[in-house]
Amino acid sequence: MLSVINKRAFLSAVLLVGAAGAPSTAFAADEWCEGDPAVVVVTPRGNAVTVFVTNGAEGLERLPYLALASISYTAVPTRDGSGTTVRMNVLVPSAISGSEFRTRSVASTGPLKTGVVLDSAEGRSGSPMRFKFLLPVP
């Protein structure tokens, strides 16, 4: 029977060997940070619809740039007047140094990409990501 000290040493060795032998595919640059601002879209008839825009940037250090992202939209009635066509632009600024980084964005009816996904886009900082989606609200 192993003593408590020997059990701890044995488990530590197993964990150490297991961790050392496990393949690692995650690098710091592979990590993304996200922000999820709510945007109130006002339709041509004055109805307010909340759309959640989950913006992401590659690299956890880029979170401040997501807070500075600008989101603009235009809303026009559909031809039959039963809904609203929304065109949305999301612009995540480039780093202060001028370097660009990968960005992504998802517009949905619920927070954190839940509910109905309306549209998504990928891009680079400093260039707008563009959406076009239909809201079933006139």
Q: What is the pLDDT of residues 20-57, one digit of tens each?
A: 333 334 444 579 999 999 999 999 999 999 999 999 99
Residue 18 confidence (pLDDT): 37
Residue 84 confidence (pLDDT): 98
Closest CA to 55 of 90, 100, 89: 90
Higher pLDDT, 123 or 27: 123
Q: Kindly report, residue by residue over 68-87, the tens digit of the pLDDT.
A: 999 999 999 999 999 999 99
Closest CA to 93 of 131, 127, 118: 127
Residue 97's pLDDT band, with cuts at 50, 70 and 90, is: confident
Sign of the torsion formed by the C-alpha atoms of 109, 52, 134 and 42: positive
Domain limits of the chain? 28-135
Residue 98 confidence (pLDDT): 85
Higher pLDDT, 16 or 119: 119
Q: Kindly report, residue by residue over 98-117, the tens digit of the pLDDT.
A: 899 999 999 999 999 999 99
Tokens of 125: 């900082």
Residue 106 confidence (pLDDT): 98
Could you give the C-alpha distances from 115 to 50, 56, 65, 107, 118, in angstroms and in order? Answer: 12, 18, 26, 10, 9
Residue 22 confidence (pLDDT): 36
Q: Which pTM was predicted? A: 0.76
